[in-house]
């Protein structure tokens, strides 16, 4: 939820200029998720996450709150993943390339967006696409990297793709999400982004639960080539989410790693 609210904040910045942009979503998933499913009930996504802020104003991320409301006019049942969020914020002329390696999920995504000419779904490794499709003709846009972190060497893959991305598209915005149990993964992602040579690198974390090194406590991300004012917007977002999601146990941070705006 934190990452998706942040995603809308960055998209709002891109929309402020008239020139078209492209978004590459490297791990797109299926686009929409049923909050009554067994998986959603098991993870507590509704009970401990979006359900606590649904229907409440979110001044720091109004586009995110509006999309949730538009999708759930009769009560909270559906959650939008990154491709659905991005698609809803595209203008005519903007475009989304959504990559999904899982065959069934990819086919479902293709079926869902087959009538939207702004969206292209590719059944391939999103990391590979970073090397193949960048830089885009638009020369503006975002690479959204949201891997499942199911592989032990995921941070090595991220380091490689960030180096590749910096060489191919040094001015593009790159957002890399990671789960928080302790500081290990976040520190590795931050180090990889700095080593790649990007400018204006921002690290943000929001953890509504205690960090014990075993259970998921929250999530974080690193943004490379961070747009102007995004850091202030993210601080406001953390302030708003704290009483809704975690209260006294919540910890959060928004800090510049390089090139403060």
Banded model confidence at residue 43, pLDDT cuts 50, 70, 90: low
Residue-wise pLDDT for 141-176, tens only, equals 999 999 988 888 899 999 999 999 999 999 999 999
pTM for the whole structure: 0.94
d(CA 2, CA 124): 26
Within 10 A of 135 (CB to CB), how many other CB atoms are there? 15
Residues contacting 37, CB < 8 A, separation 6+: none
For 96, residues 6+ apart whose C-beta sits below 8 A from its C-beta are 22, 23, 25, 83, 86, 87, 90, 118, 119, 120
Domain 2-258 has CATH 3.40.50.300: no
The DSSP bridge partners found for residue 34 are 78
Tell me if residue 196 falls in helix, strand or coil: helix
146 a catalytic residue: yes
**Catalytic pick among 25, 94, 146, 231:** 146
Residue extents of the structural domains in the chain: 2-258
**Which pair of tokens denotes residue 161?**
């793709």
């Amino acid at each position: 939820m934190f990452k998706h609210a942040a995603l809308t904040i960055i998209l709002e910045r891109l929309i402020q200029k008239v020139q078209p942009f492209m978004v590459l979503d490297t791990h797109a998933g299926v686009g929409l998720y049923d909050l009554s499913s067994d998986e959603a009930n098991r993870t507590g996504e509704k009970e401990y996450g979006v359900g606590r802020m649904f229907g409440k104003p979110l001044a720091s991320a109004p586009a995110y709150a509006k999309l949730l409301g538009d999708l759930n006019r009769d009560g909270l049942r559906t959650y939008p993943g990154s491709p659905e969020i991005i698609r809803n914020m595209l203008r005519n002329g903007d475009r989304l390339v959504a990559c999904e390696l899982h065959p069934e999920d990819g086919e479902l995504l293709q079926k869902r967006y087959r009538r939207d000419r702004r969206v292209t779904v590719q059944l391939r490794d999103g990391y590979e696409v970073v090397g193949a499709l960048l830089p885009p003709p638009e020369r503006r846009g975002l690479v959204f990297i949201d891997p499942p972190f199911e592989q032990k060497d995921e941070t090595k893959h991220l380091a490689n793709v960030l180096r590749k991305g910096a060489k191919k598209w040094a001015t593009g915005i790159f957002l890399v999400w990671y789960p928080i149990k302790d500081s290990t993964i976040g520190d590795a992602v931050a180090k990889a982004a700095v080593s790649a040579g990007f400018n204006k690198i921002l690290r943000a974390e929001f953890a509504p639960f205690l960090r014990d090194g075993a259970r998921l406590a929250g999530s974080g991300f690193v943004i490379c080539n961070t747009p102007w004012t995004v850091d202030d917007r993210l601080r406001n977002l953390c302030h708003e989410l704290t009483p809704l999601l975690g209260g006294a146990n919540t910890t959060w941070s928004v800090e510049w790693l390089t090139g403060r705006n």
